[in-house]
Amino acid sequence: MLQVAGGGLVVGTGAVGAWQWLAPDAQRGRRSGEFTARPAKAAVSESFVHIMAHADDSLYFMNPELEQSIRSGAPAVTVCLTGGESDGRNALSHSPGYAKLPEQRPEFVRARINGLREATAHMATGDWLSPWTVEKTTLLPGFEVELQTLKAAPQVQLVFMELVEARVMRAPRKESLRGLWLGAAPVLTTLVPAGSPVERTFQYSRQQVIDSLTAVLERYQPTVVRTLDPNPTHLPKQPQYAGTPPVLEGISRHDHQDHTASAHFAQAALAQYWGRKHTRPTAVDSYVGYEVALLPNSLDAATTAHKIEILDIYGWADGRDCGDPAGCGDRKVGNRSKDTRWSDNLRHRATGTQRWVQPLPDGRLAAFAILDGRVQCWTEARTGSGIWSKPVPAGGSMLEGQVQALRHADGTLQLFSVRTVLPAPGTAHRREVVTAAQDGRMPGGAPAFGPWQSLGSPEEEPERSMEVGYPVAVADKDGTVHVFVKNWSGGVSRRSGPGGRDWTEWEELGTATEQPVRVEDGLDAVLDGKGRLHVVAADTKTVHHWVSAGPGAPLEPTGPTRLPAATGPLTLAALSGGGVRLAMRQPATARVVIADRPADHGGWRVTSQGESVGGYGRVALAQAGNTTVLAARDGKGLMRLSAGAGRPGPWQDGGVPHRGTAGLAQDAKGRPVVVVLGMDGQLSSARGRGTGASAFTDWIAHDGSVHSDLQTS
């Protein structure tokens, strides 16, 4: 199984036009008998880089999106920062005889590597024993890493840096990724796995880890980068660790310290990469880690079962022989994935928004998304055409996850997002809400924006600000803009400003009882037909609702909504006459649930459910007269559409791969338009034409071509 080649260097080609990095030209200078990658078979416009801490992180927290990318045929590269060596005992902790097992860390690291590549081979080819080529390569001069390439699908690669792991979940340890990130340790050493072509250890400084990840980004030019969660939620009761050096003190969170530190290193590498010349813009998705065990399961039974099948391969659950005496998988995972709550969830830290598409005064639509950490703007070439311009920059830096576009009464736009400020001498690591207001038009009519302004955070302490959620903005009838975010304690905070300027201080919304709320991120807000402001947010058991009595009135909690649990993000739409409609997903089934609150202040009630198509994440919802429009991800990762008279209609067959939440807007003729951002950073859109099974046009690519690869349910 271990077909080790010589110490050849995989030479990056700079701006890869996908597969270019696999072409024979990239292998010049190799000695006879060294590994030669297969030549390109096709050109693709997307590629994926996954950055994680341990060998099973992507399988637990990024699947099913990981598998969908691997099976797409696009380059899919996974970088594992640590060996995950633990105590070197490849067995379930505390199992009979466990304490007598020898500590064999190099062998256990190799067993985990074998498990990951077997699971990856299964996802790519259906054959867990599909062979790999194993070699050493160089990301930085003087440093070697292990590179594995799947022979049957050479666009699939694994990179192992083998830094030592923290070996404890939260207790401070200098010799760890977190210790290196915070400066508690000047260098972090590697651990050589059994049978590795890398024959010696290396010591990495903080900057050398960042430079190594930057080299990966420069080599593969990804359109999508996936990381673990840089901002996990804090533990309600903080553990105390005696003798902790001041530099390692901090908030303990619902995740492994290696997960969080790996995400911070990824952010720093992305910032460095974006500051250099590169060909293709990059989108970033971050995935909630161990915290998902506390949240309602977001995946349906079929998706969960398939995810567990892949994890069982990684965990060597059946004990089959792969031919390596070091071991064929991670028996600390074993066959336990069916019993852990990590398996039935996929959660993006950024919950998305549907309000990133807005009409311009001339009737064309403008769309906004974050690529390379800054906002890009697309505009329709002609009203109703569905043909989009090339994106133009709308500013910002180190923006995350989502951008919301708010339309003022005069037709001008204002953007809202979250920015990460990376640590530097004299600068604390923190997150802050930011906004930019339109101050003109560019040639061609695209909106132009002024400088981005910081709205700060409801949390003044920098470390607490890292947990502040993503902003939701809505304009009152008098033009006052209200911005809402989840705060550190799990409540909802608001800041307001007339016309989106001259902002008040942050204030927390009240609760119906003396008990505080503990909501998940993914809240929403809308103004109803009577000028009342509504805000909703979900905790793990129900939905919370705040409403104003009328224009300009304060927001008050309504008391128990008696709505069931949701899997996180909620979406509101105003109904004619003053009521509001809510779309959410049901735990365990992923089914879309619709609930209504009529205008007469009646209570909430569930009114309908959509057909089950799987999927997860926020559902886009619009109410166009009596037509209810839904756009949601299905179990195959495709965007599916529905339009029905007064309630959800059937899901239209066919869909397109995408990332994030669909944007929903109305065109100049009042027709609903659904816009998605593809994995290649390009837009596609579909336009409503009625209700029922053919309620929408075919998906139109940004250049006006019709998607020919629609997949049906």
Return averaged pLDDT per consecutive 10 residues of the chain, 713 residues in all. 31 30 30 31 77 98 98 97 97 92 97 98 97 97 98 98 97 97 98 98 98 98 98 96 94 98 98 96 98 97 97 97 96 93 96 97 96 97 90 96 95 98 96 98 93 97 97 97 98 97 97 89 96 97 95 92 96 93 97 94 91 96 92 96 92 93 94 96 93 89 66 36
Alpha helix (H) ranges present in 354-507? Answer: 462-465
Whether the Cβ atoms of residue 217 and residue 228 lie closer than 8 Å to each other: no
Dihedral pair phi/psi, residue 696, rounded to 5°: -130, 155
* Distance (Å, whole) CA 244 – CA 246: 6
Q: pLDDT for 417-453, tens place per residue?
A: 999 999 999 999 999 999 999 999 998 889 999 999 9
Query: Residues 6 or more apart from 110 whose CB is under 8 A from it?
Result: 193, 194, 195, 196, 324, 326, 327
Q: Tell me what pLDDT residue 707 has.
A: 67
CATH code, residues 44-234+251-339: 3.40.50
Instruction: Report in angstroms the alpha-carbon separations of 135 from 324, 372, 439, 510, 522.
Output: 16, 31, 54, 59, 43
- From the list 657, 689, 661, the residue with the least C-alpha distance to 673 is 689
At 705, is the secondary structure helix, strand, or coil? Answer: coil
Residue with structure tokens 């132009």? 448
Q: Pairing relation of β-strands 2-4 and 132-137? A: parallel
At 343, is the secondary structure helix, strand, or coil? Answer: coil
Rounded (5°) CA angle 626-628-632: 170
At 411, is the secondary structure helix, strand, or coil? Answer: coil
Q: Tell me what pLDDT residue 167 has.
A: 95
Residue with structure tokens 């224009």? 551
Residue with structure tokens 């990684």? 314
Q: Helices 301-314 and 105-125, interaxial angle, to 10°?
A: 140
Ramachandran quadrant class, 421 (left: phi over 0; alpha: psi -120 to 50; beta: rest): beta
**Radius of gyration for the alpha carbons in the chain, expressed in angstroms and rounded:** 25
Q: Tell me what pLDDT residue 278 has.
A: 94
For 612, the token pair is 């089950």
Query: Residues 6 or more apart from 21 whose CB is under 8 A from it?
Result: 10, 12, 13, 75, 219, 220
Residue 310 DSSP one-character state: H
At 529, is the secondary structure helix, strand, or coil? Answer: coil
Q: What share of the chain is helix, strand, coil (3-state, %, to 5)?
A: 15, 30, 55
The total number of residues shown for the chain amounts to 713
Q: pLDDT for 186-231, tens place per residue?
A: 999 999 999 999 999 999 999 999 999 999 999 999 999 999 999 9
Query: Residues 6 or more apart from 29 whose CB is under 8 A from it?
Result: 8, 9, 11
For 375, the token pair is 């906002």
Q: Tell me what pLDDT residue 516 has.
A: 87
* Distance (Å, whole) CA 333 – CA 315: 5
Residue with structure tokens 């979900």? 538
Q: Tell me what pLDDT residue 344 has.
A: 96
pTM: 0.93
Residue with structure tokens 């800054």? 374
The domain limits of the chain are 44-234+251-339, 350-470
Whether the Cβ atoms of residue 58 and residue 66 lie closer than 8 Å to each other: yes
